Structure 1
Amino acid sequence: MAELPLLDDPWLVRHHPAPGSDLTLVCFPHAGGSASYFRPLAGALAPRVDVVSLQYPGRQDRRNEPCIESVDGLADAITRALRPLAGRPLAFFGHSMGAMLAFETARRLAAGQGTEPLGLVLSGRRAPRTVREENVHLRDDAGLIAEIQKLNGTDPALLVDEDILRMALPSLRADYTAVETYVYREGPALDCPVRVFTGAADPQVNREEAESWAEHTASTFAVRTFPGGHFYLSEHPGEVIAALVEELDDFRR
C-alpha cells in the first residue's frame, strides 16, 4: 500500500491518519460547517478508511480568509486542492451544501481529468434540478440565526455567545448565499454510483427531491432514509456510520 500523500493545503484536514487504508473519503461540510464536524466519523472509520475533511475559508483556522460566496467558486477551489490525492481511490461524502459541492467537484474531475470518485454519498440535499424559492441569505442576523436554530445543527449555547456568533455569521451567510444562488448547468451524468442519505423529517428535502438525484448518474443509485431531521447524522451516528461503511465497501467492488 502506497504511503498517504502529505497534506499541506489549508483546504484539506486529516484528523485520523490511516496509512494502511486503500480508500480516501473526502468529506464536504454543510453551510456554516467546518472540517471538525467530521472528526468523529474519521475516528470511527480509521484505520480502514483515510478520511480527509474539507475546511472552507472563513472559519476556524481559516477565519481570517475571505469567504467564497458561490458553489462554482468553492467547487473550482476544491478541485484544485484535491490534486495531491490524484491517483488514489476516492469517495465523496457531502452533507447539505456539501452534497452539492461533492457533486460539482465530481463533475469537474470528470471533465478536467477524466476521472471520477469511486462513488458519491450525498446527504440532506435535494437534486440540482429541483428548485425551491429560498432567501435565507438575505435575512438579517436574527433571521439567519432563526434558520439554523430550526435545523438543530448548532449547539444552542453557541448561539447566545456574541463572540462566537460574530465569528460564525459571515461564513454562514456566505454559504447560504452560495447554495441559494446556485444555478444548475446541464451536463453529462456521472459514471460513478450515487447514494443519497436523508432524514425522514428533514424540511430541506423530501423523498421525490432525493430520488431525483438518480438523473445524475449512469451507474447504480439508491436512497436511504434515517430517523431524524436535517442533522439526522448527528442524532443517529452509529446507524449512519454503519450504512456509510456498507456503501464504501460496495464502491470498492
Structure 2
Amino acid sequence: MQANQGGASSTRLLHCLHFGGTGHQGPDACLASALVRRPGLGSGQRGRDRPRRTKRSKDPPAPKPGSLARSAWTVSAASSSSCDVAAIPCPPVSRCGVDNSTRLAVQYPGRENRFREALIPAMDSLASAVADELLALPPLPTVFFGHSMGAAVAYETLLRLQQAGGAAHITRLCVSGRSLDGAAGPAGRTDEEVVEAVRSLGGTQAAVFDDPDLRELLLPVIRNDYHLIDAYRRRTDVPLLRADVHALTGDRDPQVTPDEAARWSAVTSGAFTLTVLEGDHFYLVPAVERVARIAMEPAQPLPV
C-alpha cells in the first residue's frame, strides 16, 4: 500500500504480487513481492546464503508510536531505502513521485517469516483473511495493486471489504498481468507441469528450479498457488466495485492480451483505465518506477 504519513493527503499502496517461482512468492507475484526483502537472497546475497529451513526468523520489532503496525499479513517497505527482492528492483519512493506515501505488501503464509505456516489452498479463505486484516488498518486513502494471481487476490479482497462497509477509502484497484477470468488450468498439475508453467511466463526467475535445494524448498508453495488459482472462478453475481480500476499488461504477455485486460472494465461502476507497456508477463520488472507512478496517478477513463 502507498500511504502518506503526514497530513490529509496520506495515501496507502497495497501490493498483492506473485512473480513466477521467485523466492517464496509463488507462480506470479504482486508489486508487493517486489517490495519485501527475501531473507538470504537480497542485496547481493546469493544461493549459498539462502535461508535454512532450520533457522527461525526473528520476531519483527514493535511498531513506533503513531506508525502503522506490522502484522503477519502485511510488511511495510521503508520509503527512505531501496530493496531488491528476487532480482526485482524497488526504487526509493521519492524516485516514483510518491514521496509522502507508504507501501504495504501482503505476505501470504509460506513466505518470509511465515514460511512454516500452513498454506491456504482456496481463494475464498485467502481473500477473507486478508480483508479481515485490512479492516483493522487506519482508513487512509488506499490503492490496491495486484499482479497475476495477486490481481485476483486484490479484487476478491476489495469485494469483501466493500461488502463489510470498509472500502470507502480505497480509491483504485490496479490489476496487472491477468485477464478478468484467467485461463482455465488443468485439474491437477504434476511438479513438472508446474515448473513448465513458470518457465513459460518468461523472465529469469525460473532459473531457481535448476538448483535442487531451491526446487525442493519452493515447489510446495508454488504448487499450492497454482492449485488455488486453477480452481478459482470469479463470481458474476456480485456488486460492482465502487473504486476505479486500472488494468496494466505487457504487450507480449503470454497469459493476457490487451483486449482481455480491457475486460476488467466490467467489474466497476467507477472510471476504468487500460495501460499497455512493452514486455512480457514480467514487464513491470524494468518499468517498476513507471508502474509505481501510474498506480498513484489520477485515473483517466478510456475514450468512448
Q: 1:22 aligns with which of 10, 35, 39?
A: 10
Across the two proteins, how many residue pairs are aligned to each other?
A: 232
Task: Report the CA distance shift for 1:47/1:84 in structure 2 as closer, same or farther (over 3 A).
Answer: farther
2:130 maps to which residue? 78
Q: 2:177 aligns with which of 84, 109, 124?
A: 124
Are 1:189 and 1:216, in contact at CA under 8 Å, matched by a contact in 2?
yes
Inter-partner Cα distance in structure 2 for 1:57 and 1:153: 24
2:296 maps to which residue? 245
Task: Report the CA distance shift for 1:169/1:247 in structure 2 as closer, same or farther (over 3 A).
Answer: farther
State the percentage of identical aligned residues: 33
Show structure 2 runs of 5+ residues with no match.
Answer: 20-25, 37-88
2:231 maps to which residue? 181
Task: Report the CA distance shift for 1:240/1:94 in structure 2 as closer, same or farther (over 3 A).
Answer: same
Structure 1 residue 139, shift from structure 2 partner: 2.3
How do 1:103-142 and structure 2 match up within 5 A? 103-116=155-168, 117-128=170-181, 132-135=183-186, 138-142=188-192
Q: 2:273 aligns with which of 192, 207, 222?
A: 222
Are 2:240 and 2:269, in contact at CA under 8 Å, matched by a contact in 1?
yes
1:26 partner amino acid: L
Choose 1 or 2 for highest CA Rg. Answer: 2
Structure 1 residue 80, shift from structure 2 partner: 1.1
User: Per residue, is there more helix in 1 or in 2?
Assistant: 1
SS in 1 for 2:185: coil
Q: What TM-score results when the alignment is normalised by the length of structure 1?
A: 0.82
Are 2:177 and 2:253, in contact at CA under 8 Å, matched by a contact in 1?
yes
SS in 1 for 2:247: strand
Greater relative contact order: 1 or 2 (C-alpha under 8 angstroms, separation 6 or more)? 2
Are 2:135 and 2:166, in contact at CA under 8 Å, matched by a contact in 1?
no
1:10 maps to which residue? none
Deviation by residue 1:106-152 (Cα, 9 ceiling, x = unmatched): 11111112524111111011113xx53312x7222222111111212
Q: What TM-score results when the alignment is normalised by the length of structure 2?
A: 0.69
1:43 and 2:95 correspond? no
Inter-partner Cα distance in structure 1 for 2:158 and 2:91: 21
Are 1:59 and 1:168, in contact at CA under 8 Å, matched by a contact in 2?
no
Inter-partner Cα distance in structure 1 for 2:132 and 2:166: 15
Structure 1 residue 212, shift from structure 2 partner: 1.0
